[in-house]
Amino acid sequence: MAETVLELRGVRKRYGGGASPLVEVLHGIDLTLVAGDFVALVGPSGSGKSTLLNLVGLLETPSEGEIWLASEPVHHASDAARTALRNRYLGFVFQFHHLLPAFTAEENVLMPVLAGHGRISPADRERARALLARTGLAAHAHKRPLQLSGGQQQRVAIVRALMNRPRLVLADEPTGNLDSHTAHDVFALLRELNREEGIAFLIVTHDPALAARCDRQVHLQDGRLLPPARADAPGG
Ligand SMILES: Nc1ncnc2c1ncn2[C@@H]1O[C@H](COP(=O)(O)OP(=O)(O)OP(=O)(O)O)[C@@H](O)[C@H]1O
Ligand SMILES: [Mg+2]
């Protein structure tokens, strides 16, 4: 059986309190991802997708419930431990790539290595170049973000997310600001990297065609996960 990379048990998230009213936006989420999973997280605007991703990404803490990464409970981790866990287990791809404009594509890709290990080894540089070549960016490694197209910038951001060999990549609308042709190319790249490196992906997308290309779709509605749709259900 594939190894569990992520487990959420009864996760709730509330905002506010004090002067502002307390609002619960996630009402008890249970979710498991195993190694190599390729999962779409879908749901209407405001349903809690980004909140869920931010909790899994250790950018926020749950109000109740448990979050496990691999076999480590992380819901009570200190700030320092969370930073270390993020570097060890997770990669992030956002709708807007957040590449550093003053640095080349290759330097941007190497940033997480520098942040995680404090230095860059020749092997790291080789992996960066190989991944950039793998994603069709060999000729662009020494360009800065503004000299690249939107799709190329997003591919650099994807390579950056993979540098530290994460177990799980969290992607919040990774193709949200790309035209549909480029979006499909970028999505196909995520899929290939998922298969080649065995990395699990949890991908928020509003595009039903892209969601349909995932192994599994999980639907959030008003802060709750809907039961999985069954292929053999009547009328479905
Ligand atoms: N920091 C915050 N403080 C208070 N409420 C918040 C906060 N962050 C999110 N919310 C609320 O939580 C709910 C879920 O927001 P979230 O951003 O997770 O939705 P989403 O599914 O990602 O939506 P979209 O598809 O528009 O990106 C919304 O009602 C939002 O207003
Ligand atoms: Mg969102």
Dump pLDDT digits (tens) for 97-118.
789 999 999 999 999 899 888 8
Cα–Cα distance list, 223 to 46, 211, 235 (Å): 8, 19, 26
**Number of helices (H) and strands (E), helices first, in the chain?**
7, 10
The pair of three-digit structure tokens given for residue 33, joined into one six-digit string: 């991802």
> How far apart are alpha carbons 202 and 57 in whole angstroms?
11
**Ligand 1, atom 12: closest residue by C-alpha:** 25
CA-closest candidate to residue 162, choices 95, 109, 118, 210: 109
Dump pLDDT digits (tens) for 131-148.
999 888 999 999 999 999
Ligand 1 pocket test target in 11, 12, 15, 220 with most atoms within 8 Å of CB: 15
Residue with tokens 């650099």: 156
Strand locations in the chain (E): 4-17, 20-34, 38-42, 64-69, 72-73, 90-93, 168-172, 200-204, 216-221, 224-225
Per-residue pLDDT, 214: 95
Tell me the CA–centroid distance for residue 218 and ligand 2, in Å.
15
**Ligand 1, atom 1: closest residue by C-alpha:** 15
Per-residue pLDDT, 227: 84
Checking if the pLDDT of 60 tops 60, the result is yes
Confidence of residue 178 (pLDDT cuts 50, 70, 90): confident
Per-residue pLDDT, 176: 85
Q: Which atom of ligand 1 is found nearest the CA of 206?
A: 25
Dump pLDDT digits (tens) for 77-91.
999 999 989 988 999
CA-closest candidate to residue 186, choices 220, 124, 146, 137: 137
Mean pLDDT of the chain: 92
Confidence of residue 51 (pLDDT cuts 50, 70, 90): very high
Confidence of residue 231 (pLDDT cuts 50, 70, 90): low
Per-residue pLDDT, 224: 97
Ligand that comes closest to the CA of residue 43: 1
Pocket of ligand 1 (CB under 6 A): 15, 25, 43, 45-51
Confidence of residue 230 (pLDDT cuts 50, 70, 90): low
Per-residue pLDDT, 236: 40
* Complete domains list, the chain, with CATH: 4-14+23-225 (3.40.50.300)
Helix (H) or strand (E) holding 195: helix 180-197
Confidence of residue 13 (pLDDT cuts 50, 70, 90): very high
